[in-house]
A and B are shown apart, each in its own frame.
Chain A
Amino acid sequence: MSDDGLVLLQLHEPGETPVPHQDEAGLAVGIDLGTTNSVVAFSFDTEVEVLKDENGKALIPSVVHYKDDGSVVVGREAREAILESPDHVVSSIKRLMGRGLEDVKSLAGTLPYEVEVPPEGGMVRLRVAGRTLTPVAISAHILMAIKDRAEQSMLGKAVTRAVITVPAYFDDAARTATKDAARLADIEVLRLVNEPTAAALAYGLDNSVEGLYAVYDLGGGTFDISILKMEKGVFQVKATGGDAVLGGDDIDHAVAEHFLAQRQAGAAITAGEVKQALMTARVAKECLTGRQSGEWMIELDGIASRHSLTRDELEKLAAPFVDRTIDICRGVVEDAGIDVSDIQGVVLVGGSTRMPLVRKRVAEFFGLEPLSNINPDEVVAVGAALQAEALTRGSDTLLLDVTPLSLGIETMGGIVEKVIPRNTPIPVAMAQEFTTYQDGQTAMAIHVLQVEREMVDQCRSLARFVLRGIPPMAAGAARIRVTFQVDADGLLSVTAREQTTGHEARIEVKPSYGLSDDEITSMLKDSFTHASEDAFRRALREAQVEAQRLVEAVQSALKEDAHLLSMLEHAHVESCLTKLQSVLLGDDRRAIDAAMDALSKGTAEFAARRMNQSVQRALAGKKVEEI
């Protein structure tokens, strides 16, 4: 271990105890896991460094090459392999995170790989190089490469924890999939932070801005717009909106289609041609940021074709997508209950905001020249790194985020009942009561939805479950309370219970597009050997944190109330303490549990006396007052 590494880890907030074995917990980084590119950054004392490769490049293309020899390559090299072996290379996998059959249908034709949906439903799978892979596994490969990059940059120090950003508009299934991917890559997710919120954090801390700000985030595959109130270290999201499948990629596809139509190659367009056209489109789009026109060549299968494109033509192709983002902005401004003129600044995030057309439209809509003094490709990772530091070393900043989508339940007749409206601050718990509609009904089907419209078929199904064991009653007599809970990562859990009889039928659900715990475990065993000790190590760490907490609690109690113990009793508590401290840093979880148990038992009488003493004191206080 290098001296540098040690210094980094010994610093902590004054008065705050470091978590035991923090050096073994590893460093915490911020990761922007993007559709097109990913970025990783590290913050120390709010000085952020974007971690670069040996060529000084910060962007890691989110592209994975599955080679025939079984090896996996991620990044620039993988992107270069797209042309030679298009069917071995996967890009833009973020678009499929947490997606099911329905979503894939709507993306049909825009995905450059073969997609299959398991007959039992659930998450889609990709056929790549003769393998069947889930989007979660592919994302995990990208995350492992990011982790490697970070560890190399940090002088070989282990990087095990991260704040990972997700589009604000990512739903529960996509968030869960992202967390699962991190788990496969052996990265502990400290928090999922919404991309616009992370960008706001980077801007706010850097420029000490105050007031209402809009963050316009157009990435490769996703669009987000958030309106935040920023003041003295508080970042409060007022409203957020977006489209999880709208981004710069769509513009690339439009341009590629334009090129392919010009090319008029053989009857059937090959996968290779599509990929090459897409690459050419991307290059053309980037070139036309600085120029008015250009000419490009597509050469494949012995056919070469020339394609010219002007900026005007590009903008005509891109306009429908940009217009859609502005429409979404309008809705979000309305949701925030403000007027466009109340907004004091607009921050641009995402590589696609480099397009002059985007800047022009955004400036027109908000009536403001947008800010982009932090590199739009890096700003999200910078914010994530700041938050990773805040979560591990403490901070005064506060991120208050909201639910991007309304969540509800299907009731009788296909009507949707909203339980949590969109833009509700998280964490949140809200409940709604339902009743039975038949005499003697003992079970009730509950269908959890992400609400877009008033009708079920226009909403996305998140989970279905059945609450059983309802005592038979007359129709309408049972009171079934369904509680939705969204945590600080934006993840939903649902519980239901029958209220009237005290008989509790309770069930917790996870979204249907996620992978089951069994699937994750078997994936961990199969191909991610490195992460196989993951569950064990995490449980051990949790036990260590818990043991440390108990040690400190007993020590504080002794400092306050040791006089309540006889010398013998005191000595016994001390010996239990010493025993726990001696096993606390080891890796024997059973020994830790046993020592914790012994300490708890050994202090039970002490605790009772402390409680008793406080009652006596309270009574004495009362008496004094009464006199």
Chain B
Amino acid sequence: MTASIATAAASVVPCWSCKGPVAARALFCSVCGAVQGPGTIDHFSRLGLQPTFDIDLDLLEKQYFGFQRRLHPDRFAAKSAKERALSQSQATALNEAYETLKDPLKRAAYVLDLKGHKVDLTACGTINDPQLLMEQMEKREAIADADSVETITKLSAEADTEVIACQCHISAAINAGELDEAVHLTIRLKYLAKLAEEARTKKTRMTRALR
């Protein structure tokens, strides 16, 4: 009995404005209409999406715009200081969710994190995996040595393909429940994405120099 009271009580919280009950995840109070705080929910729930790595990017954007339309500080410019502050927190949380889910690398790490597998993307520099290290060094050299637009264009296209292939592998690993493998692949994706960017930058520079 006490447990169910606790559950029932946890699903409603007092509205800061009218002090009455409001559902814990509600954006607005159903009685007085005041905007509520962002709370601590996962990025997928915040944007009303299924928690999966394979998200529909168009839907992500649509949901993001939809929530921002209601919660952005521009909607609250004439409201009280408290409402302005809450809308800023809401919009900040939406931006964080959108930025995390939009990027395949951050999304992969986030999905794995939700499943209890931490991927440290900020740990820079050292690659623990000797095979990955070797491969990266070779490719980086190839990009550095590329001396014609054809070569760099080819390398850049290859790097892009590898990024996409790696994303597919991550998706498959997550769906198959092979989470350790998915963590490994996510770290790989980080380096592949970096390489692809280097190749693209060099390609742009070399193409420009030609003109």
Assembly CA distance A488 to B75 (angstroms): 12
Say how far B56's CB is from chain A's closest CB, in angstroms: 17
B11 touching A561, Cβ below 8 Å? no
Residue among B15, B18, B98 having the largest count of chain A Cβ atoms under 10 Å: B18
Q: Which of A545-578 contact B (CB under 8 A)?
A: 545-546, 549-550, 552-554, 556-557, 559-561
A611 and B74 contact, Cβ closer than 8 Å, known pairs A334-B204, A428-B95, A603-B19: no
| Chain A residues within 8 Å of B11, by CB | 618
B40 contacts the other chain (Cβ, under 8 Å)?
no
The reply to whether the CB of A581 lies closer than 8 angstroms to some CB of chain B is no
B residues 83-100 in Cβ contact with A at 8 Å: 83, 88, 91-92, 95-96, 98-99
The residue in A19, A549, A552 that gathers the most chain B C-beta atoms within 10 A of its C-beta is: A549
Contacts of A330 in B (CB 8 A): 204, 208
A542 contacts which chain B residues (CB < 8 A)?
A: 80-81
A623, closest chain B residue (CB)? B4
Q: Is B137 an interface residue (CB 8 A)?
A: no
CA of A429 to CA of B200 in the docked complex: distance in angstroms?
30
Q: CB-CB contacts of A36-54 with B at 8 A, as 1s and 0s?
A: 0000000000000000000
User: How many residues on chain A are close to B (CB under 8 Å)?
Assistant: 50
Residue from A334, A394, A485, A622 in contact with B201 in the complex, judged by beta carbons closer than 8 Å:
A334
A422 → B minimal CB distance (Å)? 13
Chain A residue numbers with a CB within 8 Å of B20 are 557, 560-561, 607, 610-611, 614
CB within 8 Å of A: which B187-211 residues: 200-201, 204, 208
Pair A553/B73 contact, Cβ less than 8 Å? no
- How many A-B pairs have beta carbons closer than 8 Å: the answer is 126
Q: Is B33 an interface residue (CB 8 A)?
A: yes
B79, A549: Cβ atoms under 8 Å? yes
Within 8 A of B (CB), among A68-110: none
Chain A residue nearest to B70 in the complex (CB): A398
Interface residue? A317 (CB, 8 A): no
Q: Mark A604-627, 1 if CB is under 8 A from B, else 0.
A: 101100110111001100100000
Interface string of A485-528 (1 = CB under 8 A from B): 10110000000000000000000000000000000000000000
Instruction: Say if the beta carbon of B44 comes within 8 Å of chain A.
Output: no
B85 to chain A, nearest CB (A): 10
CB proximity to B under 8 Å, residues A358-414: 387, 390-392, 394, 396, 398-400
User: Which chain A residue shows the least CB distance to B8?
Assistant: A618
Q: Which of A546, A550, A604, A614 has the most CB of B within 10 A?
A: A614
Name the one of B8, B74, B82 contacting A398, with C-beta atoms under 8 angstroms.
Answer: B74
A392 contacts B77, CB within 8 Å? yes
CA distance A412 to B210 in the complex (A): 41
Does B32 reach chain A (CB closer than 8 Å)?
yes
A310 at the B interface (CB under 8 A): no
Contact B74 A554 (CB under 8 A): no
A365 to chain B, nearest CB (A): 11
B58-88 interface (Cβ within 8 A of A): 65, 68-69, 72-75, 77-83, 88
CB-CB under 8 A from A560, the residues of chain B are 20, 31
Q: A426 on the interface (CB 8 Å rule)? A: yes
- Residues of chain A with a CB closer than 8 A to B75's CB: 394
Q: How many angstroms from the CA of A424 to the CA of B74 in the assembled complex?
A: 18
Q: Is the CB of B19 within 8 A of A426?
A: no
In the complex, which of the residues A426, A615, A622 has the most CB atoms of chain B within 10 Å of its own CB atom? A615
- Which residues in B have their C-beta under 8 angstroms from that of A424? 95, 99
Interface status of B123 (Cβ within 8 A of chain A): no
A191 touches B (CB below 8 Å) = yes
A426 adjacent to B95 (CB under 8 Å): yes
Summarize B's interface: helix, strand, loop or mixed: helix
Chain B residues contacting A392 (CB-CB under 8 Å) are: 77-78
Q: Does A425 touch B at the CB level, under 8 Å?
A: yes
Q: Which residues of B contact A471 (CB under 8 A)?
A: none
**Interface residues as binary, A333-361 with B (CB distance below 8 Å gives 1, 0 otherwise):** 01000000000000000000000000000
B31→A398 contact, CB < 8 A: no
Answer yes or no: B127 CB below 8 A from chain A CBs.
Answer: no
- CB contact under 8 A between A556 and B18, given known A427-B95, A614-B12, A615-B5: yes
| Interchain CA distance A560-B29 in the complex, whole Å | 12
Please give the distance in Å from A50's CB to the nearest CB on chain B: 22
Q: How far is the CA of A123 from the CA of B202 in the complex (A)?
A: 40
CB contact between A622 and one of B8, B17, B83 (< 8 Å): that residue: B8
A218 beta carbon closer than 8 Å to chain B: no
A449: CB under 8 A from chain B? no
Question: Are A425 and B99 closer than 8 Å at their CB atoms?
Answer: yes
B80 contact from A546, A606, A610, Cβ within 8 A? A546
| CB <8 Å contact, A549 and B83 | yes
Give CA–CA (A559, B21) in the complex, Å.
14
Give the contacts of B109-142 with A (CB-CB under 8 A). none
Chain B interface residues toward A at CB < 8 A: 4-5, 7-9, 11-12, 14-15, 17-21, 31-34, 65, 68-69, 72-75, 77-83, 88, 91-92, 95-96, 98-99, 200-201, 204, 208
24 CB-based A-B contacts, threshold 8 Å: A234-B65, A234-B69, A334-B204, A391-B78, A392-B78, A425-B99, A427-B73, A427-B91, A487-B73, A487-B88, A488-B72, A545-B80, A546-B81, A549-B17, A554-B18, A556-B18, A560-B20, A607-B19, A610-B21, A611-B12, A614-B21, A615-B21, A618-B12, A622-B8
Shortest beta-carbon contacts, A-B, top 10: A607-B19, A614-B21, A618-B8, A391-B77, A553-B18, A553-B32, A610-B20, A556-B32, A488-B73, A557-B18
